[in-house]
Amino acid sequence: MTFAARPIDPLPKVWDPDTRIGDMLKGKRGLVVGVANEHSIAFGCAAKLRAFGAELALTYLNDKALKYVQPLAEQIQASLLMPLDVEKAGETAAVFDRIKTEWGHLDFLIHSIAYAPREDLHGRVIDCSEAGFAQAMRVSCYSFIEMARLAEPLMRPGGAMLTMSYYGADKVVSNYNVMGPVKAALEATTRYLAAELGEAGVRVYAVSPGPLKTRAASGIAAFDELVADAVARSPVGRLVDIAEVGRTVAFLVGGGASGMTGDTIYVDAGLHNMA
């Protein structure tokens, strides 16, 4: 007797408007920052959070990005869509002001943005410019602190704040360069925020996917080789996809993760365990 091969993941890969997963997050409202296109980790998170019943607010970087993000926001029936460039004075505060006005509270925050100037990203850490390092820290790390501060008064007990990290924060990864120290700072920030917000019943996590073919990742030198090496070394011989990251995020946002905070959660098909 033969059987059809079982799919690796029987749940909808990213977004199927005719398929609902459940109501685990029904009644929860959250902000997802970092959707650039349908391949973004942030979109995988947003799609799964919505599929579990959450109401969403999304942001887009600028007018150029809007034409890619708006159709996705419509697909997943996002309630709010707002511009956000964390390097522009006042834009971050404006996002949270609108959430306060429209919703009055917030149950979760997903921070999925990072940036380093190309010349600094492609060079040695020792050669990184002061301005490039400062910009990478501002966009990739400090923006999470700023959002957490603005979200804190809106968060209800049981709320969660998440950011996206990478294995290069813990181990040296070829060509990851200055983003390694920046992501290490982000993971340390996660632990401190968890300690500071825990008394209010707010949990904080860093999620660490393996290498994914996103627009942001395309800026890393020799990225195709990095992906090939990850597939070769992963215990299951593959990469994860953005939907798998999204479902992990949905679990962390939900009540099932109430006993966890301050952790870096790896969603990389076991790659971080391999030498």
Residues with active-site annotation: 166, 176
Cβ pair 48, 247 in contact under 8 A? yes
* Burial (0-12, 13-18, 19+ Cβ within 10 Å), 112: buried
Alpha-carbon gap, residue 13 to 105, rounded angstroms: 30
The continuous run of DSSP H or E covering 55 comes out as strand 55-60
Cβ pair 232, 245 in contact under 8 A? no
Instruction: Give the amino acid at 105.
Output: H
Residue 72: CB atoms within 10 A of its CB come to 23
Instruction: Give the amino acid at 151.
Output: A
Q: What single-letter DSSP state applies at residue 140?
A: I
Spatial neighbors of 93 by CB under 8 A, at least 6 apart, are 150
> What are the tokens at 86?
């964390």
Helices of type H across 123-210: 130-137, 143-151, 179-197
Alpha-carbon gap, residue 140 to 69, rounded angstroms: 20
Using the CB atoms, write b or e for 229-261: b if 16+ within 10 Å: ebbeebeeeebbbbbbbbbbbbbbbbeebeeeb
Residue 3: CB atoms within 10 A of its CB come to 5
Residue whose C-alpha is closest to residue 178's, from 165, 168, 163: 168
